[in-house]
Amino acid sequence: MQKCGVFRVKAPDDGALWVPAKDNKSTTNRVGKAATMKRIVSTLALGAALGFGATAALAQAPSTLRNIQNKGFVQCGVTQGLAGFSMPDSAGNWTGLDVDLCRAIAAAIFNDPTKVRFSPLSAKDRFTALQSGEVDLLSRNTTWTLQRDTSLGLNFAGINYYDGQGFMVRKSLNVKSARELSGASVCVQTGTTTELNVADFFRANNLKYEPVVFASADETIKAYDSGRCDVFTTDASGLYAERVKLAKPDDHVVLPEIISKEPLGPVVRHGDDQWLDVVKWVHFAMITAEELNITKANLDQMLQSTNPEVRRVLGVEGNGGEALGLTKDWVVRIVRHVGNYAEIFDRNVGPSTRLGISRGLNALWTKGGLQYAPPIR
């Protein structure tokens, strides 16, 4: 690293927030008032970063994990309603894949999956809410992109759902592939990456199309249903959720092409590596549990297992959990209260639910999917 030209945040008692770094060791953690001040600066910078791609300076906040343990609950940012991912059910309980990740984190910390509170956030407010500390993590089907990971000052802690953008058309059109859609009118929600992906796809394939844009998802699907356009497009998981809203869902078919990568995952703030580790490894623990076939049902038998890997993961041997700042039995807590990845997938979006999404890319790596966890040891 070079000695000068690197700018670092210093404590405000120096009289200046921005000074050239003297050496590489000047980034010692500072907590307390300085951190609060820096969070103000970083959040204000967030606005600029959104517009100009400038790198926001982010500093060490007080330990999020200790903060959560003191207040007694995890504050989790979720969507304002997305079937299968985060949605209040009729009894007023939050359910979904993203919600279960939050519950798993609460279970790992408190041994109680109910010690979590949910903030329903809109797409545009989600990052501000995370930056300002209103939520401890964002588990809100957020796509991992370079810009969000860097200039927004966020860290993605993993990918709990591999999504991609797809198309839905009427069966009566007899279209078998998205490449046959030349000249089609496409219903799409405005202001999303979806809209940009469609433009890319049609331009790359030299196809003509007519975009019909709407402000909200509800309007978009209504317009498609009423025949305003030939094609409806959104993330593949959303296609299934929206299809059940159609008058005759069976008359519509989802085309095989997936035209974009949408890796969705939990997000935390820059600057607290311990909390990032906790969120990341809770996700990995659920995948590892599925790999080792540890389920809610057979957990007690598994605790008696002689398999060294199972014993290590469940904390019978070793102290992986303590290194995270949690307890030895953290994986036991997660599986007992929430389940492994396969269980939460099947419960929320799997084939037996109304969404009926197959594992696809989200199958374990051993079964042809992408879900892969580093070893817990």
Partner 1 sequence: MTTSFTRSDLLLPLPPPASLVGPWGWARANLFSSPLQALLTLVGGYVAVMLLWTFVDFTIIRAVWTGADRDACLDDKVGRSVGACWPFVWAKFGQFMYGFYPADERWRVNLTYGVAIALLVPLLIPSVPQKPLNAILFFGAFPILAFNLLYGGSIINPWLSVGGWLAILGGLALVAGYLMSRVEGPPNVVFLQWGGAAIAVGILLLLLVRTGLFAAPALPVIETRQWGGLLVTLVVATTGIVAALPIGVALALGRRSKMPIIRLLSVAVIELVRGVPLITVLFFATYMLPLFLERSPDAMVRVLVGVSIFSGAYMAETIRGGLQAIPKGQFEGAMALGLNYPRMMSLIVMPQALKLVIPGIVNAFIGLFKDTTLVSIVAIFDLLGGIRAGFTDPQWASPVTLYTGFAFAGIIYFAFCYFMSRYSIFVENRLNTGRRR
Phi-psi region of 235 (alpha: psi -120 to 50; beta: other; left: phi over 0): beta
Half-sphere exposure of 130 (CA within 13 A, CB side): 28
In the bound state with partner 1, the residue whose beta carbon lies nearer, of 77 and 315, is 77
**Nearer of residues 33 and 377 to partner 1, judged by Cβ:** 33
Residue 98 C-beta: closest distance to partner 1, Å: 13
C-alpha 171/C-alpha 45 separation (Å) is 49
Nearest to partner 1 of 63, 132 (CB atom)? 132
Q: Judged by CB, which is closer to partner 1: 77, or 263?
A: 77
Paired sense of beta strands 74-78 and 262-269, if any: unpaired
Of the two residues 83 and 294, which places its CB atom closer to partner 1 in the complex? 83
Question: Quick one: tokens of 272?
Answer: 């607290």
Interface residues with partner 1 (CB under 8 A)? 36, 39-40, 43, 77, 80-84, 87-92, 117, 119-122, 125, 128-129, 132-134, 218, 222, 225, 241, 244-248, 353-355
Paired with 87 in beta bridges are 95
| Minimum gap (Å) between residue 2 Cβ and partner 1 | 32
In this structure, is the dihedral angle defined by the CA atoms of residues 12, 18, 19 and 24, taken in order, positive or negative? positive
**Count of other CB atoms within 10 angstroms of residue 128:** 15
CB of 329 to partner 1, least distance (A): 29
For the CB of residue 72, give the shortest distance to partner 1 in the complex, in Å. Answer: 12
Task: Give the span between the Cα atoms of 32 and 156, in whole angstroms.
Answer: 25
Identity of the residue, 132 or 295, whose beta carbon is nearer to partner 1 in the bound complex: 132
Q: Which residue spans within the chain are E strands per DSSP?
A: 7-9, 18-20, 74-78, 87-88, 94-95, 116-120, 137-143, 154-156, 161-163, 165-170, 184-189, 209-214, 231-235, 252-254, 262-269
The three-class DSSP label of residue 230 is coil
Query: Taking the complex as a whole, how short is the minimal distance between the CB of residue 80 and partner 1, in angstroms?
Result: 6
CB of residue 228 to partner 1, shortest distance in Å: 14
Q: Shortest approach of partner 1 to residue 306 CB, angstroms?
A: 43
Nearer to partner 1, 75 or 165 (CB): 75
* CA–CA gap between residue 30 and residue 287 (Å, rounded): 35
As a dihedral over the C-alpha atoms of residue 310, residue 283, residue 166, residue 354, rounded to 10 degrees, the angle is: 80
